[in-house]
Structure 1
Amino acid sequence: MSDIAIVTLCSAPRLAHLRNQLRATAGTPRVVVWIGDDDAPALDAESVVHVPPGPAGLRLAAARNAGARAAEALGARLLVFLDADCIPGPELVERYRDAAAQHPDAVLCGPVTYLPAGAALDAASLRAATAPHAARPAPPPGVLQCAAAEEYPLFWSLSFATTPAVWRAIGGFDEQYEGYGGEDTDFAFSLRRASVPMIWVGGADAYHQHHETSSPPWQHLDDILRNGRRFARKWGEWPMTGWLEAFERAGAVVREDDGWRRASA
C-alpha cells in the first residue's frame, strides 16, 4: 500500500470533475467522502465514506475529518487533500512527499491554477497552463517557503497535505461548522495558535476545473453569516469580510458593532 492517500470530498454536482481527478490519480490510493444526502455512485476509489448533510447544510469539516481517518486506516502516512474540482499536476504528489520529509510537523500548501472552460487535462497541457492564483504565495518549483503569521488566513483546503500525527495534534477541522464558509480559516487559525508551521510548496501544483460560480456567493449568504458569527465568537474577528462587504454594498446585509446581519426587508 502506498504511503500517501488522496482525500476528496464530493457530491453529485461535482461528480464529473471528480471522475477526471480519479483518472488522473490512478495508482495512488483515493478516499472519497460523499457529502450529499444521496448514496454515492460506483467510484474508482479504495475507500468511499458517506457523511450526509446536517440540519444547516453540507458538513465539510466533519467530512474532512472522516476522510483523514479513512486514509490513515488505509495505512497512509501522508494525507493529501484535494478539492473534487482539482486535478493534481504531474509533480504534486512527489512535491508534497519531499516537503513532508523535510517538514514532517507542518501543513503543506501547493499553488492552485484556475483553468478556463474546456481546458485540456493531460499533463503537458496542465504544465503549459500553470498560472497560480495571485492571492497566495507560489514559490518556484522545489522551493519551500514558511508562511508568515499574517499569511495563515490564506490557507485553502483546495490542495494541502499533512501527516496523520499533525492532523490529530491539531484536532482536525471544527465540526460545528455546517454549510458553506469559515471552516478553512478556522483550521488555519488553529494551526497558528498551535505554532504548527504552514509551508508553501513550490511545484505542488493543482488545477481547478472550471464551473460556473458567483462572486459574492449569494446562494451561501445565510451560511456565511451563521458561520462567520461562530468564527467571530471563537476568534474575536470575522472571516470572509470581502464577501460580507460585497453583500453590504448590495444592501443584503448591514454591519453592526459585533459583525453583520441580514438587512431588514
Structure 2
Amino acid sequence: MSIATLTITRNCLVFLLLLSSFNVICLAVDFPLRDKYPNVPVYSAAQLKQDFSKVIIIDVRTKFEYSVVRMNGAKHISVAKMTFVEQLKVVRTRKSNKKIIFYCNGNTCSKSYTAVTKAKKAGFNNVYAYDAGIFAWVKQYPELASLLGQSPVHQFAIIKKKTLQAKLLDFRQFQQAASISNSLVIDIRDPRQRKLSIGLVDTKIPLDKLTNFLKRGTWKNRDLLIYDNVGRQVTWLQYLLMAHGYTRYHFLEKGARGTVSAPLIN
C-alpha cells in the first residue's frame, strides 16, 4: 500500500470518527433527557410512521392538551394519574406483545419516558417512547394528526412562535398588568403544582375546567393574565383562546417556576 493511499485511509478514518462524535453530540442536544433514562427504548418518527397502524399509541399528557392536538387514533391515559397502570391494562394485557408507543409534548418533556418506566415496572413489555413529541409529529406528518378536531393539520393553523411571544410578559410586567382594575389573574396549574405561590391574588382553575368557561365566552371583556407551572401549557391554551375569539390575554413567561431559581418540572 502506497504512502498516498495510507494517508487517504487515515484521513477517512479521522473523518468518520469526527462524524460519529458529531452525531453523538447532536443526539444529546436533540434529546437531552435520553441520558437520564438509558433503559427507555425509543421510537423514531420514521419507525412510527411505518408501524402507525400496527401499534397502540398513547398520549400521556393532560386531557386538555390531548383535546387540543393529538396523533390520530391515539388513546389518552395521563401518566400523572394514580390509575395510569390500571387504565393501561384495559388497553392491552401485559402478556400481549403488541407494541405500545407513548408520547408527550417534545424532547424536553419527560412524561413519555416516565410512562415507559412505569409500564415496564408493572410488567408490560414492548413499550417505547416517541420522544420527539407531538410538535415534531404535527410538522412532519400533519395528515396523521388532529388540531381542535380537524385533520389533516394545515400548517397555517399552527400558531407561529412570534404570535406566542407577543403574548408573553416577564414577571415584572405581569405584576404591573395585574394591578389594573379590569385584569383577572388565572392560575391554570394542577393542584399538586400550587405549592409555589407567585404572590398575586388569582382565580385557580385547572385547564380541563377552564375550557368550559372559554367556550361560554366568560371574561371576554376582561384582561386575562394566565400562568401555568413552567410556561408550556399556555402554548396549547392559546389555540383555544384564539378559536373562541379571545384577544385580551397574556401569559407569564416561564410560568410560576420562572419566578424563582428552581429547576423546571414537567
TM-score normalised to structure 1 length: 0.27
Which structure has more helix as a fraction of its residues? 2
Q: Which has the higher contact order (CA 8 A, sep 6+)?
A: 1
Which structure has more strand as a fraction of its residues? 1
Structure 1 or 2, whichever has the larger Rg, is 2
TM-score normalised to structure 2 length: 0.26
